[in-house]
Chain A
Amino acid sequence: MKSEKRAKPKIGVFKFASCDGCQLTLLDAEEDLLAVAQAVEIAYFPEASRRMRKGPFDIALVEGSITTHHDAQRIHQIRRASKLLVTIGACATSGGIQALRNWQDAGEMARVVYARPSYISTLKLSTPIAEHVEVDYELRGCPIQKGQLLELLSALLAGRKPNVPTYSVCVECKRRGSVCVMVAQGIPCLGPVTQAGCGAICPAYNRGCYGCFGPMESPNTTALSDHFRILGQTPTQIQHAWRGMNAWAWEFRKASEEVKVP
């Protein structure tokens, strides 16, 4: 009995700067949640349980980006205590929406005075987990997609490679049978350069993709910026399109900095 319990892989869920949406995805897996809970030991998940076990962990699911000195140290402890470390969601994989502050003008920040500046301590940049420790797998999205999370967990439990495609949202749009919003209506859409996974939700809801799954493998961002210009977007609009939930992801960041804003 006891040894059987031991054999269950131990999972920890850890949070850094984030909105909690990605870990909520785990609780939102209503139909599968109890099955997951049977297959693994959820040893550390403060948002769901009062019982907090110490490591080591077989799998650490890490949500959120690094924005404080304390967190920059904490992620190393988690890495040391975990066999596999998986980052979940745009905050963890790219620095998240809060990475927008990475472009804030330091001079302006300095001129502005907090009511109680000494009470807060943060780093200048919001950075992805992979800039601090080695990451074994990542799940994209803001938030991550439930099906991808379950696929990843079952693959890791079975010891196989997770099937997480790296092609673009366009492929999913075609599969879903959506009419291309960019071709048909001239709506700017990041679908051609954004990694699949969501199932192409936005075009199905009559709007352009805003890139919440981050850059696909080798995206042609320059061509898309050019196309947005042809569609009548201003340089600021184009720059802002790249600076969303994955602004600090290298390909999007580069694309945003290439835009000449007068």
Chain B
Amino acid sequence: MKTRRVIHVPVLARVEGEGGLYIRVQGGRVMDVKLNIYEPPRFFEAFLRGRSWQEAPDIVARICGICPIAYQMSCVQAMEQIFGLTVDPMVRLLRRLIYCGEWIESHTLHVGMLHAPDFLGYDDSLAMAKDHPQFVQDVLALKKTGNDLMGLLGGREIHPVSLCVGGFYRAPTRRQLQAMVGPLERARDLALRLLRRVAAFDFPDFNLDYEFVALSHPSEYAITEGRIVSNRGLNIPVTAYEDHFIEQHVAHSNALHSIRRQGGSYLVGPLARFNLNFAQLGEELSKLAQECGVSPPCRNPFRSIIVRMLETLFACEEALRLIACYEPPERPCVDVTPRAGIGTACTEAPRGLIYHRYQVDENGNILAAKIVPPTSQNQKQIEEDLRRVVDGMIDKSEAEITWRSEQAVRNYDPCISCATHFLKLHLERS
């Protein structure tokens, strides 16, 4: 028996951005696991300095084309905190609505096109389309509805143009939103059908005792605001984030790892939200979840694909509910008078908690920015998962180990483009 093996996947497929995987096994034990992130850093926080509060939402959107709303929303809310603004309740509703669009689009992309091929044994969803045409067509149609919702509210689905500090540049009419009702109802049916499909996949028996971290809100399944909570008793306001989480810079990665201050990894994303805010999914969805083989606490990351589709279904229903409540705000945007200060905000990106902090001068020009995306927070956890996954199948063939390891990484829907752009945050003055 070979005692020393190295598994090296130089380019990880079906993840957003550029990463690789490196696993070293010796004497039947996993010695080293590395999720290499070689996506070049783009230094956003360096060139945000000096730019105005008005420009920030459009700049930070460009960190990620898959979840631009998460960046824009966190940014505008942090700025609004600095300027002491309260937005119209209908603006708040529209923000939750466009965020639902992003969840539908991003989750469906991941479930149907990036993750499902692992479970069904295909290289990609286009190859899958030959044998499972209905599945792939459902995925594309569902994803399109998420995109259409974002397009309607935001002008376009990738890098929407309508969000601004204080509200929206333009708010839709009731009639415009009504046009989404039919498509969203169909999307709900598609999401249900897809949910049942993915629930029937085979899942490896793999459970870990995670610390789940997510936003939690008293009256709704948290998306745009809330307190930061965990299953190990953490319960803090967003302003205290940096007292509890720190970032580390490690050699093999162009991204920063984020860990708990007391040490230790944690998990953000659909599984964390599901476990922490389960009751707020509502009775019907809770029942459905149990039927589909997930109930809190769900500690099997491979089952996150089910939770993602469940959240997609939730987002379709929530979008319908929000549209029914909508009345156009008197003014789409409140007036802004800039003032100096520091503001923070967290929202729930499709991949999990995202944190923004900005410091601005009296004219609202940015002095410092810090952004911690979900993938930086999950990265250490991904490596720990990999160690356990490989440990449990050490005698298997290299191809099997590689396949399963890649699948384990994709459990997190890692967005590597997001994770890399924050190196400059880690500066120390000499």
Contact = CB atoms under 8 A, between A and B. Distances in A.
B256 to A, nearest CB: 9
A142 B159 contact: yes
Interface stretch (A42-50, A162-170, A252-260): A42-50
A143 B55 CA distance: 17
A22 B66 CA distance: 10
Interface string A42-85: 10011111111000000000000001100100000000000000
A205 B144 contact: no
A52 B14 contact: no
Contacts of B250: 116, 119
Contacts of B62: 19, 21, 96-97, 142, 245
Interface string B387-418: 00000000000000000001000000001010
A119 B249 contact: yes
Contacts of A210: 58
Contact of B14 (A18, A47, A101): A47
A227 interface: no
Contact of A115 (B52, B137, B427): B427
B160 to A, nearest CB: 9
Nearest to A144: B158
Contacts of B12: 46
B430 A111 contact: yes
A122 interface: yes
Contact of B156 (A30, A46, A52, A201): A201
A27 interface: yes
Contact of A21 (B14, B65, B117): B65
A198 B156 contact: yes
B40 A205 contact: no
Interface stretch (B27-35, B42-50, B193-201): B42-50
Contacts of B406: 50
Given A51-B124, A104-B46, A120-B41, A205 B11 contact: no
Contacts, number: 178
Interface in A1-37: 15-22, 24-25, 27-28, 30-31, 33-34, 37
Contacts of B63: 19
Nearest to B39: A17
Contact of B65 (A20, A48, A198): A20
A127 interface: no
B399 to A, nearest CB: 12
Given A20-B16, A205-B161, A115 B124 contact: no
Contacts of B43: 98, 101
Contacts of B65: 18-22, 24, 143
Contact of A15 (B18, B52, B59, B426): B18
B113 A27 contact: yes
B131 to A, nearest CB: 14
B141 interface: yes
B117 A202 contact: no
B288 interface: no
A114 B423 contact: yes
Given A24-B158, A28-B157, A143-B158, A49 B16 contact: no
A104 B424 CA distance: 13
Given A24-B66, A48-B113, A30 B140 contact: yes
B246 to A, nearest CB: 11
A53 to B, nearest CB: 10
Contact of B144 (A19, A31, A37): A31
A51 B42 contact: no
A247 B81 CA distance: 30
Contacts of B147: 28, 30
Interface string B145-183: 001000000011111011010000110000000000000
A202 B155 contact: yes
B13 A49 contact: yes
Contact of B47 (A34, A100, A115): A100
B155 A204 contact: yes
Contacts of A204: 155
Contacts of B417: 18-20
B126 interface: yes
B401 to A, nearest CB: 15
A46 B249 CA distance: 26
Contacts of A106: none
A113 interface: yes
B254 interface: yes
B264 to A, nearest CB: 20
A120 B140 CA distance: 38
Contacts of A202: 155, 161
Contacts of A240: 51-52, 55
Contacts of A212: 159
A110 B125 CA distance: 46
B129 interface: yes
Interface-central residue, A16, A45, A48, by most chain B CB under 10 Å? A48
Given A20-B17, A22-B65, A119-B249, A206 B113 contact: no
Interface-central residue, B16, B109, B170, B429, by most chain A CB under 10 Å? B16
Contacts of B114: 48
B100 interface: no
A220 interface: no
A237 interface: yes
A201 B155 contact: yes
A113 B161 contact: no
Q: Which 7 A-B pairs have the closest CB atoms?
A: A21-B65, A49-B124, A100-B47, A51-B123, A98-B42, A50-B13, A30-B140
Given A46-B11, A104-B47, 18 more contacts: A25-B158, A30-B144, A30-B147, A37-B129, A46-B13, A47-B16, A48-B124, A49-B13, A51-B123, A71-B40, A101-B47, A111-B430, A113-B428, A115-B428, A119-B254, A143-B156, A240-B51, A244-B55
29 contacts: A17-B42, A18-B65, A20-B16, A20-B417, A24-B66, A25-B158, A27-B109, A30-B144, A31-B140, A34-B129, A45-B124, A46-B11, A47-B14, A48-B13, A48-B14, A48-B113, A48-B114, A50-B14, A50-B406, A97-B59, A98-B43, A101-B47, A104-B46, A112-B427, A114-B423, A119-B251, A126-B42, A205-B162, A212-B159
